[in-house]
Chains A and B, each alone.
Chain A
């Protein structure tokens, strides 16, 4: 039987896990009274669901629907004039949600806040480009990589991937080497889908090696002229997989003992 591989997360995984190992957590500390961050938490009031300090950064969890409102408070009242980064983390497999984060910077105080919110699959988030223009590119990248729609974005379009790309590369369900669409992208586009049969899947395999090919592969130990035929009449054997089992387990291959010896 093949080993069970979860389909909702096809990223690299550790081949060995200790069943009894519990990962520790980076310490989180409470916001100290009288500090700059305390003022931020006070300004946000009850709009912040949870707030703590993790590695010198204030992390504020908010409701995804209130993101624009909270960003306005942070920008106008708390002096967070720059949005350094904005992106998402895929938690679809665990919770059916994305975790979005906004990394904000206060230049006058040299303080950083990360605003975190959760967004259900299929929901859209409000754009913050009216406050921070840097979110223009960042939100486009998030849409490109995760397929999260952003409402009221001036120009929501794929940014790093081609416009006609299918699938969202940073989802955990998207394999590292790309899906079928990705492997045939250029062929489909240049020659048309019917050319898939002419080219054949083996030619789209980047790991394929033809041992008689003297045009693309060199030989270790001896040199041959470019394009020379070195097969000596031997034909390239295609790797064929037998559909039958090589070992027949059913025919008296072993016998079960009636009694324990």
Chain B
């Protein structure tokens, strides 16, 4: 038995000395494949996992608490820090929840821009997934190629909103800016570039790659029943053969008008999910191509007209007294949504990102709950890791595509 003191500290692998020879190892929180701050306590029998316990909270910043202490507009930039790989999708999910609560709708041009940004963010996030997943499994070159394309996508985001990572590119009631001149052409050439690279680089490198298939096929198998029960959403659910995409089933923004397919895989394993991510990027490009001609047909209004909640455009504030007064009240006090509660789900690149907001008619949300897809996907790890080998643990974590900004909040 151990007697820990300052000179001989507690040796964690107590179990190793037990009869059954299992060994406890801490995977993370600083492990490069832990995708941030995941500490996974694994009990191993040889190389096989007997028990897995995901320990999270190393990146907890109390974002839900902060939401209760900020006005609705103040909180919006904080949502960038949830899923920081695709921040616009968080901004949008939050803005949509508040808009549903207020009962307003963004003007048409804002909707076009938002949908474009959402899909661009999906591509950014999926490229990041391919890059890090391949890196975790051992394919270094895919990482470099995917990050090259991701840079181009981030350049586009930078051209639009000035930020590359924490975009805050959406506002409650619309978008802050119109697209800069020439942006659509750049987006168009980016789409062709990614389409080409998808086929000739990523698919060529990975899809039929023997090592890649050996590492991914039949690894991390999640049955449809388990996926539903564990709260899996997004590619994790579709990878288990369930055709569920919120963009299609509960359409928001312009998704009801757009023509796109939802890829579904019934392989239930990591390889099926990898194929889904690739196919979703193709579909995102298809959506972007449909959106580009839509933009020029819209009126230039960018923010919804709701003087009680949303400031008037800058020109009106500068010329009209009443608009200035409204603006002053909204900036100093914040908007006061009606009493009520709302839960709005959106399809973020990782899965169902939903915001539950309880309003008591005050400028501060009474309670805000962020339903993050990665949080539930992390919970799933304790079940699917059992019985796998330690080399596959990295593949499975990579395949769940968890981001710790939104797991820990």
Could you tell me the distance in whole angstroms from the C-beta of B229 to the nearest C-beta in chain A?
Answer: 4
Q: Number of B residues whose C-beta is below 8 Å from A?
A: 53
* B354, A84: Cβ atoms closer than 8 Å: yes
Closest to B59 in A: A160
In this assembly, does A170 line the interface, its C-beta being within 8 Å of a C-beta of chain B?
Answer: yes
Which of the candidate stretches B206-214, B272-280, B373-381, B394-402 sits at the interface with the other chain?
B373-381
Within 8 A of B (CB), among A93-133: 101, 103, 107, 110, 112, 114, 132-133
Map CB proximity to B onto A183-221 as digits: 1 under 8 Å, 0 otherwise: 000000000000000000000000000000000000000
Map CB proximity to A onto B303-341 as digits: 1 under 8 Å, 0 otherwise: 000000000000000000000000000000110101111
Interface of A is mostly: loop
* A26, B339: Cβ atoms closer than 8 Å: yes
Could you tell me the distance in whole angstroms from the C-beta of A163 to the nearest C-beta in chain B?
Answer: 9
Closest to B383 in A: A133
- Which residues from chain B contact A25 at a C-beta distance below 8 Å? 338-340
In this assembly, does B356 line the interface, its C-beta being within 8 Å of a C-beta of chain A?
Answer: yes
Within 8 A of B (CB), among A9-53: 11-16, 23-26
A158 to B64, CA, bound (A): 17
Knowing A55-B340, A133-B229 touch, does A84 contact B364 (C-beta < 8 A)?
no
Within 8 A of A (CB), among B335-390: 336, 338-343, 345, 352, 354, 356, 358, 360-364, 366-367, 369, 371, 375-376, 378-379, 383
* A110, B249: Cβ atoms closer than 8 Å: yes
Closest to A142 in B: B369
Could you tell me the distance in whole angstroms from the C-beta of B396 to the nearest C-beta in chain A?
Answer: 17
- Which residues from chain B contact A26 at a C-beta distance below 8 Å? 101, 103, 338-342
Which of the candidate stretches B65-73, B109-117, B180-188, B254-262 sits at the interface with the other chain?
B65-73
* B340, A89: Cβ atoms closer than 8 Å: no
Of the residues A89, A112, A141, A158, contact of B343 by C-beta under 8 Å: A112
* B364, A85: Cβ atoms closer than 8 Å: no
A242 to B361, CA, bound (A): 42
Of the residues B250, B341, B354, contact of A110 by C-beta under 8 Å: B250
* B60, A161: Cβ atoms closer than 8 Å: yes
In this assembly, does B126 line the interface, its C-beta being within 8 Å of a C-beta of chain A?
Answer: no
* A89, B371: Cβ atoms closer than 8 Å: no
* B64, A170: Cβ atoms closer than 8 Å: yes
A134 to B352, CA, bound (A): 13
* B64, A54: Cβ atoms closer than 8 Å: no
* B333, A16: Cβ atoms closer than 8 Å: yes
Closest to A59 in B: B341
In this assembly, does A67 line the interface, its C-beta being within 8 Å of a C-beta of chain B?
Answer: no
* B244, A107: Cβ atoms closer than 8 Å: yes
Closest to A89 in B: B367
In this assembly, does A136 line the interface, its C-beta being within 8 Å of a C-beta of chain B?
Answer: yes
For the complex of A and B, list the 6 residue pairs with the smallest distance between their C-beta atoms, beginning with the closest: A23-B361, A26-B340, A134-B231, A12-B69, A137-B379, A160-B57
What would 9 more interface pairs be, CB under 8 Å, given A57-B342, A132-B231?
A23-B338, A23-B362, A87-B369, A90-B367, A133-B230, A133-B379, A138-B231, A160-B408, A174-B65
Chain B residues in contact with chain A, CB under 8 A?
Answer: 56-57, 60, 62, 64-66, 68-70, 100-101, 103, 226, 228-231, 233, 242, 244, 249-250, 333-334, 336, 338-343, 345, 352, 354, 356, 358, 360-364, 366-367, 369, 371, 375-376, 378-379, 383, 408-409
